């Protein structure tokens, strides 16, 4: 069986950036044979949140490569050049392209690696391959849409699977009810509710705000309630000094800080990334409610300081038991559909690594995003987008992606070189028995 130097689980922006970094390493004689496995049938980046007029919140200069190698052919600027739009984009005078355009850029970049990516396969487990007392290789098992299981063997692994929808506990028993869905599936699911008269949007972040405005424009006959525990919608702070926390050198500062200090940093700057929509979007929402006051017609409601305590499936809709935190009173509201813009959790990788758990120390990572392992565990296993607690708030964003993949690529090459230079008695042949 063929042995890869690296298998990547997931082929979103982070692993595309890594594929590019490894491709460019070949120019200086570092040849890493890599392969990527993506569960989606083709490349798509937040496909169900590609709303009209939605723009990036991160500068195009923080694309897949520019912060690492501005002369790369994979820059957003070169993408514009190859598509004959560079001059027109310059005339827009913006650092923030539409989400549609940035998705097209990512699709363009991903297409360069179709030869080393299997789409439509979901990784189901990662198993250790022993050589004597050592774990020398990893066997990656994936299942395609026809339920066929594929097995591949690798010397190294990088996991970059993004976030999994976070479903509040009060909705967990209704996961299979089509009237409740996460923002991750918004555009796909909202098509089933074109006749809905009353919709709830639960959340206080960018996604909740974008969905509220989309529903406002989608139908003039739908009432939308925006429900959140917060007193107000707070804008993201993208001022220059605050934005320095997304600089690549700040990653060193966070990682080298004591655990308590890391927690303090995350708490201090939490609203730069979470529950913090763009100011322009907040102003649009405020204007919607202001115009209602002008007309005297209340179509939508802003249920601030309201907490969802319970969700009950009824024939006529989903009843939410809300608690008014200001008045300390309960109230019940029934909706035709409920959209959960409640964020993501990023620990799904743990279930993939369950068979390897005995070889890891509390799933901690080193500075180069490699999981710390037992001495007899030789494969390098890296995490992308799951190290916020150790590397800072930028870990789940595009901000450090280009530089992070450079660091991972360098650590990977060093690991592979070390493995290949080990005494012959501790190496494995290219065929597995």
For the range 265-270, what are the long-range contacts, defined as Cβ-Cβ under 8 Å and sequence gap of 24 or more?
Answer: 265/392, 266/388, 266/389, 266/392, 266/393, 269/242, 269/245, 269/393, 270/393
232, pLDDT greater than 70: yes
Task: Flag whether 243 is in a domain.
Answer: no
Average pLDDT of the residues in 279-304:
97
Interatomic CA distance for residues 408 and 425, integer angstroms: 28
pLDDT given for residue 419 in this prediction: 76
Same domain flag for 66 and 113: yes
Task: Flag whether 204 is in a domain.
Answer: yes
Q: Are 138 and 276 in contact (CB under 8 A)?
A: no
Task: Flag whether 251 is in a domain.
Answer: no
The Cα angle at residue 95 between residues 161 and 204, in degrees rounded to 5:
55
Residue 313: φ, ψ to 5°: -80, 125
Domain that includes residue 403, residue range: 3-163+346-426
On average, the pLDDT of the chain sits at: 94
Top-confidence residue, 433 or 386: 386
CATH code of the domain containing 354 = 3.50.50.60
Interatomic CA distance for residues 18 and 36, integer angstroms: 10
Structure token digits, residue 267: 């708490």
Among 361, 428, 413, 415, smallest CA distance to 134 is for: 428
Residue 117: φ, ψ to 5°: -140, 130
Q: Where does the pLDDT of residue 421 fall: very low under 50, low under 70, confident under 90, or very high at 90 and above? A: low
Q: Are 199 and 50 in contact (CB under 8 A)?
A: no
DSSP state, 247? S
Same domain flag for 289 and 418: no
Among 157, 200, 396, smallest CA distance to 303 is for: 200
424, pLDDT greater than 80: no
Task: Flag whether 78 is in a domain.
Answer: yes
Beta strands in 10-67 (DSSP E): 34-38
Same domain flag for 188 and 281: yes
pLDDT given for residue 273 in this prediction: 87
Same domain flag for 118 and 60: yes
Q: Where does the pLDDT of residue 1 fall: very low under 50, low under 70, confident under 90, or very high at 90 and above? A: confident
Q: Where does the pLDDT of residue 422 fall: very low under 50, low under 70, confident under 90, or very high at 90 and above? A: low
Among 347, 200, 207, smallest CA distance to 274 is for: 207
Domain end, chosen from 300, 323, 340, is at 340
Task: Flag whether 136 is in a domain.
Answer: yes
Task: Flag whether 257 is in a domain.
Answer: no
Q: Where does the pLDDT of residue 429 fall: very low under 50, low under 70, confident under 90, or very high at 90 and above? A: very low
Lowest mean pLDDT among 81-95, 140-154, 202-216, 229-243: 229-243
Same domain flag for 185 and 300: yes
Q: Are 116 and 98 in contact (CB under 8 A)?
A: no
* 171-189 confidence digits (pLDDT tens): 999 999 999 999 999 999 9
Same domain flag for 103 and 128: yes
Same domain flag for 145 and 232: no
Interatomic CA distance for residues 234 and 59, integer angstroms: 21
* 310-348 confidence digits (pLDDT tens): 999 999 999 999 999 999 999 999 999 999 999 999 999
Same domain flag for 80 and 217: no
Q: Where does the pLDDT of residue 146 fall: very low under 50, low under 70, confident under 90, or very high at 90 and above? A: very high
Interatomic CA distance for residues 165 and 182, integer angstroms: 7
Task: Flag whether 364 is in a domain.
Answer: yes
In the chain, how many domains are there?
2
pLDDT given for residue 426 in this prediction: 40
Same domain flag for 83 and 16: yes
pLDDT given for residue 202 in this prediction: 98
**What is the number of other CB atoms lying within 10 angstroms of the CB of residue 51?**
19
Same domain flag for 153 and 102: yes
Domain end, chosen from 291, 316, 340, is at 340
Task: Flag whether 381 is in a domain.
Answer: yes
Same domain flag for 194 and 288: yes
* 87-133 confidence digits (pLDDT tens): 999 999 999 999 999 999 999 999 999 999 999 999 999 999 999 89
The Cα angle at residue 54 between residues 240 and 83, in degrees rounded to 5:
90
Q: Are 47 and 21 in contact (CB under 8 A)?
A: no
Structure token digits, residue 55: 């723009």
Q: Where does the pLDDT of residue 411 fall: very low under 50, low under 70, confident under 90, or very high at 90 and above? A: very high
Domain end, chosen from 340, 355, 373, is at 340
Same domain flag for 198 and 293: yes
**What is the number of other CB atoms lying within 10 angstroms of the CB of residue 40?**
15
pLDDT given for residue 433 in this prediction: 32
Q: Which residue has the tokens 């789409």?
A: 119
Among 140, 179, 123, 126, smallest CA distance to 311 is for: 179
431, pLDDT greater than 50: no
Q: Where does the pLDDT of residue 428 fall: very low under 50, low under 70, confident under 90, or very high at 90 and above? A: very low
Average pLDDT of the residues in 68-72:
97
Max Cα–Cα distance, the chain, nearest Å? 82
């Amino acid at each position: 069986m063929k042995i890869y130097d690296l298998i990547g689980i997931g082929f979103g922006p982070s692993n595309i950036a890594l594929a590019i970094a490894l491709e460019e390493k070949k120019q200086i004689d570092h040849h890493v044979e890599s392969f990527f496995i993506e569960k989606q049938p083709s490349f798509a980046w937040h496909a169900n949140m590609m709303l009209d007029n939605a723009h990036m919140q991160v500068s195009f200069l923080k694309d897949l490569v520019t912060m690492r190698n501005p002369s790369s052919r994979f820059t957003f600027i070169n993408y514009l050049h190859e598509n004959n739009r560079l001059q027109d984009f310059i005339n827009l005078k913006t650092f923030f392209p539409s989400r549609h355009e940035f998705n097209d850029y990512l699709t363009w970049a991903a297409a360069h690696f179709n030869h080393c990516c299997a789409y439509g396969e979901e990784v189901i487990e990662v198993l250790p391959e022993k050589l004597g007392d050592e774990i020398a290789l990893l066997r990656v098992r994936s299942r395609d849409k026809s339920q066929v299981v594929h097995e591949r063997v690798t010397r190294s692994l990088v996991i970059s699977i993004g976030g999994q929808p976070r479903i509040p506990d009060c909705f967990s028993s209704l996961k299979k009810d089509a009237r409740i869905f996460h923002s991750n599936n918004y555009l796909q699911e909202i098509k089933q509710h074109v006749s809905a008269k009353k919709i709830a949007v639960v959340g206080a972040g960018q996604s909740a705000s974008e969905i509220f405005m989309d529903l406002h424009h989608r139908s003039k006959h739908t009432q939308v309630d925006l429900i959140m525990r917060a007193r107000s919608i707070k804008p993201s702070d993208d001022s220059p000094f605050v934005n320095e926390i997304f600089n690549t050198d700040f990653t060193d500062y966070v990682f080298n800080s004591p655990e308590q200090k890391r927690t303090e940093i995350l708490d201090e700057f939490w609203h730069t990334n979470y529950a913090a929509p763009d100011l322009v979007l907040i102003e649009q929402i405020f204007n919607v409610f202001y115009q209602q006051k002008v007309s005297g017609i209340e179509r939508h409601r802003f249920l601030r300081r309201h907490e969802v305590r319970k969700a009950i499936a009824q024939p006529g809709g989903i009843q939410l038991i809300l608690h008014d935190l200001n008045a300390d009173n309960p109230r019940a509201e029934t909706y035709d559909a409920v959209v959960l813009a409640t964020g993501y959790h990023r620990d799904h990788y743990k279930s993939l690594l369950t068979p390897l758990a005995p070889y890891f120390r509390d799933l901690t990572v080193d500075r180069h995003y490699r999981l710390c392992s037992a001495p007899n565990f030789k494969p390098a296993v890296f995490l992308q987008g799951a190290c916020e607690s150790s590397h800072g708030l930028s870990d789940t964003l595009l901000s450090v992606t280009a530089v992070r993949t450079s660091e991972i690529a360098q650590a990977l090459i060093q690991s592979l070189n070390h493995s290949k230079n080990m005494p012959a008695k501790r190496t494995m042949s290219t065929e597995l028995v």
